[in-house]
Amino acid sequence: MAYTAWAKMRQVNRQRFGRDVGPFEPALYENGSGMDLKSAALRFIHERCEQLKFDPEITKKEDESGEYQGTGLRKNQIPYDMQMDNNRLCLERALGRFFDSGVAEDAYDVYYCFLEIFLGHYGKSKKMVELLSEFESNGSSLLMKHRDHYSHSVYVFMLGLAIYETNMTFRETFDAFYADVRNGMREEGQDEGASAANLFLEYWGLTALFHDIGYPFELPFEQVMSYFEVNRQKRGEGSIYVAYRDLGALVDIGQEAKKQFLRLYGKEFDTVTEILAFDIAAKLGDRYGFTEEKMLDILERKPTDPEDFGYFMDHAFFSAGRLFRELESSLGGDRIQKMHIDVLSAIMLHNSLFKFSIAFYKDKDKNKRKGPIRMQDHPLAFLLMICDELQCWDRTAYGRNSRTELHPMAVDFDFTDGEIRACYYYDDMEIDKINAFKEEYAAWEDGGEIGDAPRLKAYSDMAEKEQRFAADIKLIVDTTDIPLHVTPSVRKNDRKNKHIFLSSSNFLHLYDFAVALHGRRKGEGTPVEQLEKIFEDLALEYQLSTLNRAKNFSRYLDAINCFYTDKPVDYEMVTEFTPEHAAIFAPMEHERWVREHIDMGWVVGNDYETAVENRKDLTVAEKKELSGKLREQMRRHKLTMNGNPTTEEIKKHYDELPPEEQDKDWRPFNSLLKILKKFDGVRIYIYSLGG
């Protein structure tokens, strides 16, 4: 059984009640046996990552005391390891939802799960990831070229999981590279494959999900360049540009981290730049012919002298520095390990550093090219580079030129036999552009291929015989053990999963909505910090449930001809939802709740109540407390449904609920209205009286 703590709890329940009452093994997300991207990535989480974040010391204490330390709806309701299994299932399901929609709000869930599982709790780190999305959506339209990096990073994360799952050579290379680390952290009795997979999940997640968080530093640079490129002049000498100074706040190492690095490396470092120069030189210096001193010089000039690097600012420098600062804050400087430095050096390498300052991969003099990076050189950097290049589909275009270019909207991957076969799809509404390019390209071939070949970025890079897209990737990473095949195609663009509604506000409000929604009973006067603490005490499963409830708020408002915004608008403000409103959106909320419970492995049943109702040795309060624990331990709920019910069946189920249960699907939103004013002026308005 992949979810081993669930299996253990199921056996306990079978002995306790004399029959099988659950919890039952959660199923793989849809078809988990395929070799496509979704199946492979989710199968990795489901099958390989057993015992993720299990704690044998806590289990020992639970066995000795007879008291569980895990959190269900409340603290101390379930075994701690079962809570960790629940968290892993949350991540698995969040990745599945994101793949189905591709929207930033679902990417948010993946970030949220990862931060909760590996860095402690989301609240500490939320600005690190949310501000990237805000910078892109609000500032990138001023640029000539720019595309989404928030959802992009989650796709990159999934690609890496799929490659680890399907490519034995990469798995073995990664496991061998980090054998000492894995053996040092492996718990007694834990499967070797699971310990390796869990190690990969944690450090690949840090690498992939945060490799672009430095873009808010690159965007202002590009905005200035774009402003002065009005005559389409190429950047270079004479360009006006910005540069960064006083970088100590980003790169200086704290005292605890200094002591830790001295213990780990036997060498003193004062800045992140110094330790990354050391790490990159140790891994790549001999093969590519550079020293630690040379690398340090390059890294120190990256943010201060962009004229030395083609008048470009490298966001990778800032991503590495920003993530180090987050690790130092969240984990503590004395807990940063060598693998964390590998994560940072992989991020530092992924953009322009490796391509133009180490490998010189496109130098006109081919003798100066140093060759692509290999798996065994730096597995995390290798994987980030190939996945970053492959992830070019379904990316929101923000820049002025980017919005008019032709980019792939979708892709089908096949990872059979350790190879990567990628078919990128373009919108069939652009078929006129594509046909015109094909005719122009054929004419260029028939004319003797004089001059530059016609281009239709990015379609031409995949369709032309030069195969620039795949060829460029092979110049960056060695694909000997991971053969790459790329083809383009066209199909109808399906936007129905994008869930676009009129409601809009700062992206940061999603977390605030959830905090307010959960803490609504505390009243309007409750400080925000207290509401956040109450929310953070929830198990990840229930935090996500509240977040998804808040996320669907825009859909519910749309159904009743309302919207929310943080901008002042001349519409009638909503101060309270009516029973008439409730009749429309309460069944929608119930459907969300039912499907969420089915997805998370809950089944119908009231055994948790019947097991205690005749206990004369318990008070009413004690019966309620025990019933709540049994519900979490069985993962049964009397109000959910089994199977895959239709919307009509769930609506009928809702209509049959008693009024007090129906109220739970809409009255909380009235309390939310009163608390929302605490968060940056979000208000709800009516845009139509309806028909």
Looking at mean pLDDT, say which of 198-207, 452-461, 552-561 comes out highest: 198-207
Distances (CA, A) of 187 to 53, 183, 496: 10, 9, 45
Tell me the average pLDDT of the chain: 87
Q: Hey, which residues does 465 pair with through a beta bridge?
A: none
- pLDDT reported for residue 463: 84
More confident residue, 403 or 490: 490
Extract the tokens encoding 670: 């009235």
- pLDDT reported for residue 402: 41
Sequence-ordered list of residues with C-beta below 8 angstroms from that of 228, at least 6 positions apart, any chain: 239, 240
- pLDDT reported for residue 230: 52
DSSP 401: T
Q: What's the start-to-end Cα distance of the chain, in Å?
A: 53
Tally Cβ neighbours within 10 Å of residue 519.
21
Query: What average pLDDT does this structure show over 155-162?
Result: 98
Extract the tokens encoding 487: 């083809």
Distance CA 350, CA 98 (A): 24
Helix or strand (DSSP H, E) at 608: helix 607-610
Range of weakest confidence among 42-56, 611-625, 666-680: 666-680
Residue corresponding to tokens 């892109």: 136
Distance CA 616, CA 622 (A): 11
Confidence label for 527 from pLDDT (cuts 50, 70 and 90): confident
- pLDDT reported for residue 403: 42
Confidence label for 188 from pLDDT (cuts 50, 70 and 90): low
Distance CA 41, CA 161 (A): 5
Looking at mean pLDDT, say which of 100-109, 260-269, 672-681 comes out highest: 260-269
Please tell me whether residue 562 adopts helix, strand or coil conformation: strand
Range of weakest confidence among 78-82, 187-191, 287-291, 365-369: 187-191
- pLDDT reported for residue 290: 97
Above 90 in pLDDT, residue 218? no
Instruction: Report domain extents, the chain.
Output: 416-488, 501-602+640-691
Distance CA 206, CA 114 (A): 9
Contact between 274 and 182 under an 8 Å Cβ cutoff? The reply is no
167-183 tens-digit pLDDT: 999 999 999 999 988 77
The C-alpha angle 349, 354, 360, rounded to 5 degrees, equals 170
Above 70 in pLDDT, residue 291? yes
Contact between 391 and 159 under an 8 Å Cβ cutoff? The reply is yes
- pLDDT reported for residue 144: 44
Query: What average pLDDT does this structure show over 203-221?
Result: 91
Above 90 in pLDDT, residue 565? no
pLDDT > 70: percent of the chain = 88
297-333 tens-digit pLDDT: 999 999 999 999 999 999 999 999 999 998 998 889 9
Report the candidate in 219, 185, 249, 205 with the shortest Cα–Cα distance to residue 55.
185
Query: What average pLDDT does this structure show over 511-528?
Result: 76
CA dihedral 515, 518, 524, 529 (to 10 degrees): -40
Range of weakest confidence among 136-150, 201-215, 451-465: 136-150
Looking at mean pLDDT, say which of 20-29, 369-378, 572-581 comes out highest: 369-378
448-504 tens-digit pLDDT: 888 888 888 778 888 887 888 999 999 999 999 999 999 999 988 765 555 556 665
Contact between 549 and 514 under an 8 Å Cβ cutoff? The reply is yes
Confidence label for 99 from pLDDT (cuts 50, 70 and 90): very high
Omega before residue 23 within 30° of 0, cis: yes
- pLDDT reported for residue 257: 97
Sequence-ordered list of residues with C-beta below 8 angstroms from that of 265, at least 6 positions apart, any chain: 275, 278, 338
Contact between 58 and 524 under an 8 Å Cβ cutoff? The reply is no
- pLDDT reported for residue 44: 97
